[in-house]
Amino acid sequence: MVKIEEISKVYETKNGSVQALRGVSLDLPEGSFTALLGKSGCGKTTLLRLVAGLEAPSSGTLSLDLPRLQVGYVFQEPRLMPWLSVADNVRLAELGGGGHGDFDDAARILSVLGLSSFSKAFPHQLSGGMAQRVALGRTLFCKPSLILMDEPFGALDWFTRRSLQEDLLRLWQEGGKTILFVTHDIDEALMLAGRVVVLKDGEVTDRFEVFPAHRRDSSDLFPLRERILRTLI
């Protein structure tokens, strides 16, 4: 679905050039779940923005086998419209296009995310985890084939984060979406993804296949976690 070949990105600042990415190559097969793992400032968000088409690469090629309208993006913060209800925030794409929105689709998504009873609530009435569920629902409402997620659970407490991780994993298993998920949390990457790609100083330094048995509660995870940690340090 996505093919990235020797992508580099350079930003020009008043203090000179900053190399954010160096010769990154990566394929995202249809229906895959890939975690892009690395420390803050390693270029993860830059790569995500390039795939989304929000920025252009300085060199290299990036090919998408789907229209840009089928790409969804979930940011670090929910970024909900404070004057709209939960249901209308989910239907934001339809409302922005001047339509009336698909109430049945919005209701179904809210039900899946456990938010049916909050459909008429406003963002200020929601917890952080609930607001992030609404943000995910807004993306799902657009029926994207590819979902890009930029550390969407990073600001949440452990219990809320774990619950949303399980929700996301279930939605991916049921819906057949292709997901590229940015995180700096090794455990989160291993819990969610079928493949973990390590980014360090703007370069891909390693790739790890995570088989179904390799989940957070499995003893198989310990040596794999240690290998990834050594790659990051």
Q: Which of 94, 115, 144 is the last residue of a domain?
A: 144
If you average pLDDT over every residue of the chain, what do you get?
89
Statement to judge: residues 40 and 62 lie in one domain: yes
Domain that holds residue 119: 77-144
Mention every residue, 6+ apart, whose C-beta is less than 8 A from residue 13: none
Output the pLDDT for position 156.
84
* Pairing status of strand 2-13 against strand 59-64: antiparallel
How many helices and strands, by DSSP H and E, does the chain display? 8, 9
Q: What are the backbone dihedrals phi and psi of residue 179, each rounded to the nearest 5 degrees, phi first? A: -125, 135
Output the pLDDT for position 213.
52
Reported as a pLDDT band with limits 50, 70 and 90, residue 88 is very high
**CA 142, chain centre distance (Å):** 15
Rg of the chain in Å (alpha carbons):
18
Q: How many angstroms separate the CA atoms of 189 and 93, rounded?
A: 29
Domain-located, residue 228: yes
Statement to judge: residues 155 and 58 lie in one domain: yes
> pLDDT (tens digit, 9 = 90+) per residue, 26-78?
999 999 999 999 998 899 999 999 999 999 999 999 999 988 888 999 998 99
Question: Which of these ranges, 2-6, 17-21, 58-62, 66-70, has the smallest mean pLDDT?
Answer: 66-70
Question: CA torsion 190→193→199→200, rounded to 10°?
Answer: -10
Statement to judge: residues 35 and 13 lie in one domain: yes
Domain-located, residue 26: yes
- Across 149-175, average pLDDT: 87
Q: Which of 99, 123, 144 is the last residue of a domain?
A: 144
Output the pLDDT for position 31.
93
Reported as a pLDDT band with limits 50, 70 and 90, residue 100 is very low
Q: How many angstroms separate the CA atoms of 38 and 35, rounded?
A: 10
Domain-located, residue 71: no
- Percent of the chain's residues with pLDDT above 70: 92
The number of folded domains in the chain is 2
